[in-house]
């Protein structure tokens, strides 16, 4: 009997179900022995507290186009994973005991950065683990692409697209706040696809005066509106110079809902223009996966299933140079794939006249 556990951890995204379907179908159709799949509910919490159920073919019928995750998900911060819970339970030991109680041959984890830290920890503790790269931020180290990203780009792009008509009608400055707390892959791609005039990402600290110069220049040359795609983690040059302690202190006394509203306030005061902020928020994680993510997640799932059948563990399925390849979890955990401010895509965007607030 081949017994496999599966969980989805961290923020939800499109194609989680498609990826699990790929794993399930590959293993059950190619295994030379009976197979049991156990789905852990609400991420690592299900593994910690033994909340699980048996998965069958019926669970994966008509699932390819369904967004979200049929297993549920949650965030169990890696920084607290070694700390006992409120009842004194050792979380790591509890996960191991659940694994052994079910006599699992492998644990499949679909998650992003924090999830991979925990997956690597469990691998180091002796469990057989295979992971798939999930995050709308596309910031997971070792892979060129994560599933969920392209669907989120589509949604964020549509938000910018639909702002264009109202922005031009009223002659306003519009800020569309795109998810991206630490990295800017999503606002960068959505901003370029949506024709944003200014894109602000965490990797390139901005100068508010430079932003206002661009808005004034567009106004002077007859452009009635300006659209900014702003990462939720965008940071000014002044704030970037602060220590972590100083920056946390500023945020503790922050009077704005987010950085986009602070930027809007500064633009209004410096230029006299009307500024509006639109926040698509969690719509970027929701809805059905696009065709790219359906195919991509299915391929990842199939490759993960093959690794399980070949008894190759302790790896993440990565997408490198248009090929699916396994890479050791220890090379992925704890690393973030950020945007190089000198990257070709940034240079190309600047050649098109897009401003990043830095020059």
Those residues with Cβ within 8 angstroms of residue 18's Cβ, 6 or more apart along the chain or in another chain: 63, 64, 147, 289, 293, 294, 297, 298, 301
For residues 92 and 124, give the distance between their C-alpha atoms in angstroms, rounded to a whole number.
Answer: 11
Task: Look up residue 283 and give its DSSP letter.
Answer: G
Q: Which of 137, 139, 154, 293 is catalytic?
A: 137
Identify the helix (H) or strand (E) that includes residue 69.
Answer: none
Q: Where are the beta strands (DSSP E) in the chain?
A: 2-8, 35-40, 52-55, 106-111, 129-133, 173-178, 198-200, 226-231, 275-278, 315-320, 323-328
Specify the 3-state DSSP secondary structure of 184: coil
Identify the helix (H) or strand (E) that includes residue 51.
Answer: none
* Tokens matching residue 339: 């945007």
Sheet hosting strand 106-111, strand order edge to edge: 52-55, 35-40, 2-8, 106-111, 129-133, 315-320, 323-328
Question: ∠ at Cα 53 (51, 56), nearest 5°?
Answer: 160
42 in active site: no
β partners of residue 226 = 173
* Active site amino acids: 137
């Amino acid at each position: 009997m081949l017994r496999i556990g599966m969980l989805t951890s961290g923020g939800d995204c499109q194609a989680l179900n498609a990826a699990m379907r790929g794993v399930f179908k590959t293993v059950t159709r190619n295994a030379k022995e009976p197979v049991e799949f156990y789905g852990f509910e609400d991420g690592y919490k299900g593994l910690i507290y033994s909340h699980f159920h048996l998965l069958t073919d019926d669970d994966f019928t008509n699932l390819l186009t369904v967004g979200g995750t049929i297993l549920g998900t949650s965030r169990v911060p890696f920084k607290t994973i070694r700390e006992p819970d409120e009842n004194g339970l050792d979380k790591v030991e509890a996960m191991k005991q659940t694994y052994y109680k079910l006599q699992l041959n492998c644990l499949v984890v679909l998650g992003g950065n924090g999830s991979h830290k925990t997956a690597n920890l469990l691998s180091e503790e002796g469990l057989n683990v295979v992971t798939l790269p999930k995050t709308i931020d596309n910031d997971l180290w070792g892979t060129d692409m994560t599933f969920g990203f392209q669907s989120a780009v589509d949604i964020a792009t549509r938000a910018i697209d639909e702002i264009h008509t109202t922005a031009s009608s009223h002659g306003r400055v519009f800020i569309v706040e795109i998810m991206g707390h630490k990295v800017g892959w999503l606002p960068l791609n959505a901003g370029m696809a949506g024709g944003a005039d200014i894109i602000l990402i965490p990797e390139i600290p901005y100068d508010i005066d430079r932003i206002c110069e661009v808005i004034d220049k567009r106004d002077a040359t007859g452009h009635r509106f300006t659209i900014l795609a702003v990462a939720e983690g965008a940071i000014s040059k002044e704030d970037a110079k602060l220590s972590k302690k100083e920056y946390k202190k500023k945020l503790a006394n922050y009077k704005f809902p987010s950085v986009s509203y602070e930027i809007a306030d500064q633009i209004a005061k410096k230029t006299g223009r009307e500024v509006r902020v639109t926040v698509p928020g969690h719509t970027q994680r929701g809805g059905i996966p696009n065709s790219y993510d359906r195919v991509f997640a299915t391929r990842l799932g199939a490759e993960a299933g093959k690794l399980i059948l070949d008894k190759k563990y302790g790896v993440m399925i990565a997408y490198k140079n248009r090929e699916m390849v396994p890479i050791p979890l220890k090379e992925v955990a704890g690393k973030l794939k950020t945007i190089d401010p000198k990257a070709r895509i940034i240079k190309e965007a600047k050649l098109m006249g897009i401003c990043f607030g830095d020059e």
